[in-house]
Each structure stands twice: as C-alpha cells, then as structure tokens.
C-alpha cells in the first residue's frame, strides 16, 4: 500500500533521520540510499512496518499490509509526530543565518528531532541512554523490542516497541534479568505501570501548553528522569530552553572556547544563554571544532 504525505517546504527527511541516534535504535531501520522504516503498533496485537522516503511532492509512505481507513489515519498521525511534519523553524532559521557556526542549518533543513511512535517509547529510550555507552543503549532497546514487542503479520522478526501494558506485565526483576536494564528496570517498570493504569498521562505531557519550566518539573517527577534526560525529552517535545549537559557537552565547550581547560555546567549554559528559547537547538547543531578535529 502506497500514498503521499505533505511536508513543509523546508523539510529534509535526511536531516531528521540524522538528527540524533534514535534512527539506530529498534524498531527503526535506516533505508539506503535515503529513507527510514519503523514498525508501529496499531493496537495491542497489531503492528505494521512503515517505510518513508522523500520525493519532490512530499514523503512517499509504503506498507506491506493493506490498511483500513482508521489504521492509515493512525499511521499518518504517528508519522506526523515522529518526523515533525507540524513543526516550523522560521524564527530559529533567521537567527541561525547570522551565525557562521549555524548558517548551514536553514539551507540543509536541520532542526527537527526524530521522535519515536509514542512519547512513552521516547521516555523509555531516554532513560536507557543514562549512565551507559551508546552500544549499551542499542543492546537494551533491542532486547526490549525482541522480547516484548508485537510482531507484524508478515514477519515475526519485525516488532514494534512494546506497549506500556506489555512491559507492565513483566516484573522489574524479569526486565533486569532478560534485557540487561540493570538499575533502570524499576524505572521502566514503574513508568509502564503508571501509563497502563492511567496514573501517568504521557499524552497530556506531550500535548501540554504549560510553560517550559513547569513542563520540566512534570518530566523530572518521572522516576529515572534527571536533568539531562528531562532536557533531552524537552527537545523532543519542541522545547529548547534547557541544555542536555553531560560530559560530552563539557568537552565540546571546553575545546570550543576554553582551549581544553576544564569547564562546568555554568560555562556551557553561558555559551548559549543568548539563544533563549532556541538554546538547545543552537547547541545541538553547532559546528563544533572538536568534531572537525576528529573527522579531519
């Protein structure tokens, strides 16, 4: 089944796919030469693999399964969220054009951050990035999907990210043992149980129009979500007021402005304070000298 989705005029699918590491995590798969696929859960026991590629007229969408009208609408709603089709960055682009370290951003269509099919999936994946290597995150996510995800009708090996209900049915000890989540297992379990029972409303957080500081407090109230994870999730929600400061951010800022001398969170915040509501995007897409040194 194939159809087209409209995309903004400045849109770049490649820029979204490459925006951060989510495209390397199950159930995403990068398609060559240019495109992305993902297995999306449509219900508690139905999942479909969706492939997307860019065309002059917008985004070409295809599925192996034939979808009903409601299923197609569900897929389109998920893709709009995942690919940021409802976002626009004109204000950020105007500011970026005057900054040599960001001037490529408007021309190349950067700004949108790839999201998962659900905000629950985004929160779990973000928790699984904390205090581990990227290889560890990939491994934990893969095990969660393979063990608890719903398979597509055409391929038992293609599975969606597990629903809150499926993860809530597993005990923290089971999650720790079977998936290697370690200390994160109780956090994931508590989140899944809360969402499944209705005591945690992630959709309300996702759709909230609260001021960013108040939205950040809600995110920090979730077990396993600290300042770095909250800033990362705010970026996925389209809020860029807080910087995801970690050891890598400290190293980048140290190299860029302090000749390699040790810096702290204050120096990182100061470097991007003048970007205001766009500070996290400016940090994320900055043309860092350290990255040039590594690639050159």
Alpha-carbon torsion (74, 232, 248, 107), positive or negative:
positive
Displacement of CA 271 from its chain's centroid (Å): 24
Which tokens is 68 given? Answer: 């009903």
Chain-wide mean pLDDT for the chain? 95
Reported as a single tens digit per residue, the pLDDT across 81-132 is: 999 999 999 999 999 999 999 999 999 999 999 999 999 999 999 999 999 9
pTM for the model stands at: 0.95
Reported as a single tens digit per residue, the pLDDT across 211-253 is: 999 999 999 999 999 999 999 999 999 999 999 999 999 999 9
Contact 122, 115 (CB under 8 A): yes
User: What is the distance between the alpha carbons of residues 11 and 158, in angstroms, rounded to a whole number?
Assistant: 28
Q: What mean pLDDT comes out for the span 142-157?
A: 93
What pLDDT shows up at residue 78? 96
Q: Hey, how many other C-beta atoms are within 10 angstroms of the C-beta on 63?
A: 20
pLDDT band at 64 (very low <50, low <70, confident <90, very high): confident
Q: Would you identify the CATH topology of the domain 119-236?
A: Endonuclease III; domain 1 (1.10.340)
Strand segments (E) across the chain:
2-5, 28-31, 35-41, 47-55, 58-63
What pLDDT shows up at residue 29? 97
Contact 10, 89 (CB under 8 A): yes
The arrangement of secondary structure in 2-108, i.e. its CATH architecture, is: 2-Layer Sandwich (3.30)
Q: Do 2-108 and 119-236 fold alike per CATH?
A: no
Q: What percent of the chain has pLDDT over 70?
A: 99
What pLDDT shows up at residue 63? 94
Reported as a single tens digit per residue, the pLDDT across 242-282 is: 999 999 999 999 999 999 999 999 999 999 999 999 999 99
Which tokens is 31 given? Answer: 């398609």
Displacement of CA 48 from its chain's centroid (Å): 20
Question: For the chain, which residues make up each domain, given as ranges?
Answer: 2-108, 119-236, 247-295
């Amino acid at each position: 089944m194939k159809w087209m989705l409209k995309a903004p005029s400045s849109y770049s699918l490649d820029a979204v796919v490459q925006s951060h590491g989510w495209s390397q995590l199950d159930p995403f798969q990068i398609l060559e030469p240019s495109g992305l696929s993902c297995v999306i859960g449509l219900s508690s026991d139905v999942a479909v693999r969706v492939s997307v590629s860019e065309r002059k007229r917008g985004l070409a969408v295809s599925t192996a399964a034939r979808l009903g009208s409601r299923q197609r609408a569900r897929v389109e709603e998920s893709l709009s969220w995942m690919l940021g089709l409802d976002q626009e960055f004109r204000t950020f682009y105007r500011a970026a054009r005057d900054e040599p370290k960001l001037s490529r951003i408007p021309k190349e269509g950067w700004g949108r951050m790839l999201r998962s099919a659900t905000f629950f999936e985004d929160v779990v994946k973000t928790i699984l990035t904390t205090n581990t290597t990227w290889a560890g995150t990939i491994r934990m996510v893969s095990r969660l999907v393979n063990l608890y995800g719903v398979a597509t009708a055409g391929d038992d090996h293609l599975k969606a990210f597990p629903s809150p209900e499926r993860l809530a049915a597993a005990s923290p000890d089971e999650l720790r043992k079977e998936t290697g989540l370690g200390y994160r297992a109780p956090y994931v379990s508590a989140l899944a149980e809360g969402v499944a029972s209705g005591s945690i409303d992630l959709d309300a957080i996702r759709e909230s129009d609260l001021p960013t500081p108040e939205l950040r407090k809600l995110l920090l109230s979730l077990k396993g979500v600290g300042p770095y994870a909250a800033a990362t999730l705010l970026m996925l929600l389209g809020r860029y007021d807080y910087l995801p400061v970690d050891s890598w951010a400290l190293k980048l800022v140290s190299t860029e402005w302090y000749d390699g001398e040790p810096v702290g969170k204050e120096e990182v915040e100061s470097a991007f304070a003048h970007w205001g509501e766009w500070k996290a995007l400016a940090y994320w897409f900055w043309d860092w000298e350290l990255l040039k040194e590594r690639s050159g």
